[in-house]
C-alpha cells in the first residue's frame, strides 16, 4: 500500500522523514497524530504503508540513515542517506 505524503511546510522539514521505533531507516510520513503538538513524535503511517510509533531521528541519523527505498520509489526521488532536504532534493 502506497500513500501520499503528508504536506508539511518548509519550516518543519525535519518532521517529514522519521524513524519507526523498531528500525534504522527513515520513512516519509503519510499520516500522524503528533504527541503534544510538537511535531517530533507520534503514532502514524508512512508513505510505504508501515504503521507504528514515529519519532524524529537525531542529527546524525537525519544526515546519514538510509531512506526507505519504498518511500523513495513512491515519491520518485533518489534513494540515499539522510533527509532529502539535506541534498536539496525536492519532494512532490
| Residue 85 reports pLDDT greater than 80 | yes
User: What pLDDT score was predicted for residue 90?
Assistant: 84
pLDDT, residue 86, reads 82
pLDDT attached to residue 53: 96
Classify residue 24 by burial, with Cβ atoms within 10 Å: 0-12, 13-18, 19+: exposed
Q: Model confidence over 25-76: pLDDT tens digits?
A: 999 999 999 998 888 999 999 999 999 999 998 887 778 899 999 999 999 9
Give the predicted TM-score (pTM) of the model.
0.90
pLDDT of residue 61: 76
Cell of 47: 508513505
The grid coordinates of residue 17 equal 522523514
pLDDT at 60: 79
Amino acid at each position: 500500500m502506497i500513500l501520499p505524503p503528508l504536506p508539511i511546510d518548509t519550516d518543519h522539514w525535519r518532521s517529514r522523514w522519521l524513524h519507526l521505533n523498531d528500525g534504522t531507516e527513515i520513512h516519509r510520513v503519510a499520516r500522524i497524530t503528533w504527541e503534544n503538538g510538537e511535531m517530533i513524535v507520534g503514532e502514524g503511517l508512512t508513505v510505504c504503508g508501515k504503521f507504528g510509533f514515529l519519532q524524529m531521528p537525531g542529527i546524525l541519523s537525519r544526515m546519514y540513515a538510509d531512506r526507505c527505498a519504498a518511500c523513495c520509489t513512491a515519491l520518485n526521488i533518489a534513494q540515499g542517506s539522510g533527509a532529502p532536504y539535506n541534498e536539496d532534493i525536492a519532494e512532490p
